[in-house]
Amino acid sequence: MVAKKTRGRQNIEMKKIENEDDRMMTFSKRRSGIYKKASELVTLTGAEIGIVLFSLSGKPFTFGHPSLEAVANRFLGSNQQHPNDNTHPLVEIHRRVRINELNQQHNELLRRLDKEKAREKILRQPRKGKETQPPRRETPVDELNHQELLQMDVAVDDLHKTFLAKLKEKIVVASSYMAHPMYFRH
C-alpha cells in the first residue's frame, strides 16, 4: 500500500492562522468557495445575494446577484431605481433569465474543472508496472551523477529500439498499401 502524501480533508481548529502566506492562501481559497456556494444558491433558489469581503490589505471583494448594489438597496429599504436605469420589465426578466443561464454554465464549468482535477490527480499517480522505470528528469544532464547517466543511457537505448520497431511497422504497412494495384492508376 502506498503511503498518503497529503493529510486530505481534515477539520482544522478555528483560530487565526499565524503564517501570513498561509493566511492569504486560505483567504483566497475560502473566498472562492464562498462565491461558488453563493452562485449555487442563486441558481437553485433564485435568491438575491450580496457578499462583501475585505482582504488583509484592505482590498474589497464583492459578489452580488442580481448586483451588489441592488441587494444593498433592497436591504436598506431603498427600492429606488437608479436615474439611468429605465429598463423595461420584460428586458429585466430576460436579463435575470440570462444571468441564471450563465450561473448554471459557470457551475457546470466548475463541476467539470473539479472532475478534470480529479482525473489529473489519478493520471499523475504511478501506474502498476511502471514503478521500475526511472522517473523523468528535469535536472540538466551535466548535473547528473555517473549512475544516473548510465540509467538514462539505458532508457534512451530502449526508447530508440521501440522507435525503430514502430517505424519498421509503419514502413511495412505503407509499402503493402503502395503495392496495391489501386495506387498505380495513370
What would the pLDDT profile of 15-59 be if each residue is shown by its tens digit? 888 898 888 888 988 998 999 999 889 888 888 999 999 988 889
Residue 42: Cβ within 10 Å count: 21
How many residues would you count in the chain? 186
C-alpha cell of residue 174? 505503407
pLDDT in tens, 88-147: 777 778 887 888 888 888 888 888 988 888 888 888 877 655 555 555 556 788 888 888
In 3D space, the residue among 64, 83, 85, 86 whose CA is nearest the CA of residue 75 turns out to be 64
Higher pLDDT, 133 or 177: 177
pLDDT at 84 over 80: no
pLDDT of residue 3: 65
Q: How far is CA 63 from CA 23, 34, 49, 110, 116, in A?
A: 21, 9, 8, 17, 26
pLDDT of residue 37: 92
Taking residues 55-66, report their average pLDDT. Answer: 88
